[in-house]
């Protein structure tokens, strides 16, 4: 049985998303439901990780040919990347960059799925509403005790908000992990 390079690329893209899941969660929250799909610039060590894990490989002439045929939608055409190499090395390099393109494109598809997920949008809305809800609760409590010099709030506003936000953030991460798992080939 021959290697399915597309399945390998799908698996590697999902593994990469899993590797960066905490940063994906932060990006999703910080960018109002739009996790960055720019692995190379927006994720710590993303460029190095991608190159070392997916591109820095060598292929035999037959493997390179099979890979280039199977992943032709992702084919690298920048000849400068293998300029000056011997023909077999050049073909191996082209295959390696093509495989990297496939993984990166499939990574972007996973991020797109995350950004488009309606359940995640609802969770994000809940996350963003926490500060407003806690502030409203505190204001109501303060208003009912107006004029009482010795009154203290029944809870610390920031601790209450942080606890609620952490619970929602954990649910966001859980949902993102489930979407990443769905991206793994079967």
Tens digit of each residue's pLDDT (9 = 90 or more) over 28-68: 999 999 999 999 999 999 999 999 999 999 999 999 999 99
Structure tokens belonging to residue 61: 């002439």
Which residues are CB-contacts of 139 (< 8 A; sequence separation ≥ 6)?
none
Q: Which pLDDT tens digit goes with each residue over 74-111?
A: 999 999 999 999 999 999 999 999 999 999 999 999 99
In the chain, pLDDT over 70 holds for what percent of residues? 83
Measured between alpha carbons, how far is residue 17 from residues 1, 43, 91 in Å?
Answer: 28, 11, 28
Q: What is the pLDDT of residue 1?
A: 41
Q: Average pLDDT for residues 177-183, to the nearest whole number? A: 97
CA torsion 21-26-29-33 (nearest 10°) is -50
Residue 145's φ and ψ, nearest 5 degrees, are -115, 20
Domain that residue 88 falls in: 5-183
Residue with tokens 């000849």, as numbered in its chain: 79
Q: What is the pLDDT of residue 160?
A: 74
Buried b (16+ CB within 10 A) or exposed e, 38-49: ebeeebeebeeb
* Structural domain count, the chain: 1
């Amino acid at each position: 049985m021959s290697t399915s390079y597309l399945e390998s690329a799908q698996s590697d893209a999902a593994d990469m998303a899993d590797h960066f899941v905490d940063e994906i969660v932060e990006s999703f929250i910080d960018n109002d439901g739009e996790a960055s799909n720019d692995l190379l610039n927006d994720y710590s060590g993303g460029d190095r990780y991608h190159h070392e894990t997916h591109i820095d490989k060598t292929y035999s002439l037959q493997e390179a040919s099979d890979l280039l045929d199977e992943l032709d939608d992702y084919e690298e055409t920048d000849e400068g990347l293998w300029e000056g190499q011997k023909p077999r090395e050049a073909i191996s390099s082209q295959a390696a960059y093509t495989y990297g393109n496939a993984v990166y494109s499939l990574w972007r598809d996973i991020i797109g799925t995350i950004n488009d997920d309606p359940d995640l949008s609802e969770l994000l809305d809940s996350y963003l509403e926490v500060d407003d809800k806690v502030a409203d609760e505190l204001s109501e409590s303060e208003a009912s005790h107006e004029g009482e010099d010795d009154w203290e709030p029944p809870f610390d506003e920031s601790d209450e908000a942080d606890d609620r936000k952490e619970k929602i953030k954990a649910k966001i991460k859980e949902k993102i992990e489930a979407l990443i798992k769905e991206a793994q080939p079967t």
